[in-house]
Each structure stands twice: as C-alpha cells, then as structure tokens.
Amino acid sequence: MAMSYEEKWKNERERKAFLALDDGAVFHGVAFGAKKDALGEVVFNTGMSGYQEILTDPSYAGQFVTLTTAEVGNYGINPEDVESRGLFLSGLVIGDLTEPSNWRSEKSLGEYLAENGVPGIYGVDTRALTLHIREHGNRKAYLCVDASLSEEAAMAKSNEWPGLDGQDYAAKVTCEKAYDFTPEPRATNHEPWIICYDFGVKLNILRSLASWAKVTVVPAKTPAEEVLALSPDGVFLSNGPADPAAVTYAIENIRKLLGFERLSAHTSTTQPPNHLTTKPIPIMGICLGHQLLSLACGAKTGRLKFGHHGCNHPVKNLETGKVEITSQNHNFAVIPESVPDCLEVTHVNLNDGSIEGIRHKTLPAFSVQYHPEACPGPHDSNYLFNQFKSMIKAAKNA
C-alpha cells in the first residue's frame, strides 16, 4: 500500500510550513522557493503537465495554485516556456517535489520560485486539499513557511485579508505602456491590425494573433478614445485575474468600442447600453475579456464555487454540437439568468452547465470563457481565431 503524504513526511525535520485556511483547515508541508509568508486564495489546477506555463499565467494573481498531479518539477524550468514577463501568483502548493532531469532545464522549480519571490510548499496532501475546496469552495489562506506564527494567528490573517471579490487585479498585472508585438509597420502589407487590451495577457495568445495580424498591446486602462483614434481593424480582450465587475473602466471602454454612447457619471455599469453613436469595431474576448464583454452588454457575473482551472474542461459548441476540450482559469462566470436579449449563448460547460461563450446578435462581437490558445492544453479551439479573422474581413468589406 502506498504511503500517504502524512506518513511520508512525518519524520521530515523541515516540515514546519503550513497553509491555514480561513475556515479552520490547516495543511502541513515543507517550504521551498522564496522563504516568505503570503496571503492568497487557494485554487486547484487539474492539469497533468505545464506547470511553468501555469506559474506564468497572470490570471493566477492573488492565488495559491494547488497542482493535483502527483509529482512536480521533473522537467525543471526553461526560458522558452514562460507565458508572461513574470510570476503573479501568491504561491504554489504541490505533493512531491522532484529534481529536474530534462535536457531543456536550466534551473529547478525551487530556484525559479525563489528568484521571483514566490513561496511554495510541498509534501502536502493535495488530494485532501482539493476535496476540501470542492466541498467548501475556494478559500482565503495564509502560507506560513517557518512556523513563526501559530496556526490560529495565521488563520486570523487569512480571515482579515479582503480576498479577490470586488478587487481590480487587472491593473496590477497589465503592461505599463503600449507596445507592438509585431513591430513591422502595418502599411507594408494587407494584414489586419489588432489592438489587444492587456488585462493579464499570455504570450501564446499574442503569438496566435500575430500569426495572421499585426498586434499592438495596450494597458488595461487605455481609454477607448485612444484606441478609436488608431482605427484598428479589431480589438482583442485578453484573459486576466480576479473580479470582472471591479474593472469598471474596461466595461465602459468596451461599450464605447461597441459604438454605444458614453456613460454618464450616474449611469450604472450593470445596465445594458441603449443606442449607437459610432461604427462598432470587431471584438473578440477570452476569459476575463469574455466576462467584461458580457458585462458591457448588460449581463452580470458571479462566483463559481471552486472555479475552473486546468486543461481538460469539456465545452459544447451549441452551434455545431461538437465538444471541445479546453484550457481554463477563472473563478467568476456570467450568470445565465442575466444574459440580455442582445446576446446569445454559444458554448456551455459540460461539467456544470455554466456559460462558456456568447455572441452579440447584431454587432461584430463574441467571446469565450476559456483559453483557445492553450499553453498548456489542447488545441481544439484554435478555430476561434479564424472566426475572429473572418469577422474582421466581413467588417472591412461592409
């Protein structure tokens, strides 16, 4: 019979680290990575590989990522597999930590976390932690790496932390200034020009777009007027972390890009827009961008019990009837009962029936809740980029 994590690590002298959840649950293990305490929200990721891409996904800002796969670290870290400019997660929680044995590796997982100031804990019973989250939902937590605090004190700190609800983390992870991901001048060819709002964009999203378009990335708070002045052929709304309803400036900017009148200071951002003032720009959104587009059109968002994190989530395309296996990372979702008449649901999650995609009935705009570019994950949903490309072409020819 295989030993439990508790049995395997019961004699480990360094087993002083612990994760104290706000509901009283405590999980013990061994500290690695940055030797510092941290606060965050605990989620679990069901992917079997791709931990480097997961670590560098800005959508995990403010979260402790629990990897459900048994052993982590065996292929180390290399510079080719990073998905953003840095690490934004609060910490990493794993079962067995293994040393790298892959020819591409340039450093160990522990070294990488330490260099980037991110703490980790291994030797944790991740199966028990995952089951706890599934039963009780995502929890706020405090990671103590050296037992300098009592479990009760750490628990109190986790309860005092405000959490991610109502928090705008897109502003924390976005780029500082605009840049061209494809630096060649647009005028040299006939490729479309796309402006990508960076709410926490991953590099492989930009690579996917740049394979057929010129791409300019702009900070999350870039006013719609600046984007409209550039006259792009399309706008892409990226993935990102935390609560979409808190990113009010983005909701208003998206309404303007869709062609709706500017909101007055007294207009609620949860109300549907009314009339068009300019020609709309084709828009595609994913993950947080999907939620923001839905909010801009009058829908509402709310929390899922334990979110979707992993690269094996089944999604049904309601138009074709086909099932796609998708890569996902989100805790919030569009509330089905709130979807306005101007939108139609295009995709649903086969695990819990939640909304996975919407399309505007009269305007050139659509979005999905998942990451069609994968990294890590399957490539079932790559067709969505071609759909965006066709939408841009149709708008230019209209």
Angle, to 10 degrees, between the axis of helix 288-296 and the axis of helix 248-258?
60
Q: Specify whether the CB–CB gap between 335 and 300 falls below 8 A.
A: yes
Phi and psi torsions of 147, nearest 5°: 60, 25
Spatial CB neighbours of 67, under 8 Å, sequence gap ≥ 6? 44, 45, 47, 51, 54, 92, 93, 94, 95, 126
- The sign of the CA dihedral 34, 36, 37, 41 is negative
Q: Are strands 17-21 and 139-144 parallel, antiparallel or unpaired?
A: antiparallel
Measured distance between the N- and C-terminal CA atoms of the chain, rounded to whole angstroms: 67
Active site residue 371: yes
Q: What are phi and psi of 210, to 5 degrees?
A: -70, -10
The three-state secondary structure class of 291 is: helix
Amino acid 109 reads L
- Two tokens at 3? 């030993």
In a 3-state reduction of DSSP, which class is residue 114? helix
Residues 6+ apart with CB under 8 A from 187: none
Exposed, middle or buried by CB within 10 Å (0-12, 13-18, 19+), for 96?
Answer: middle
What separation in angstroms does the CA of 353 have from each of 120, 136, 189, 333, 356? 33, 19, 43, 11, 9
**What b/e readout covers 292-311, taking b as 16+ CB neighbours within 10 angstroms?**
bbbbbbbbbbeeeebbbbbb
> Catalytic: which of 144, 196, 287, 375?
287
Residue showing tokens 């009837």: 321
Look-up of token digits 């989250």 = 133
Q: Residue 333: in which H helix or E strand, if any?
A: strand 323-334
The active-site residue, picked from 144, 356, 371, 375, is 371
Q: Which residues are catalytic?
A: 287, 371, 373
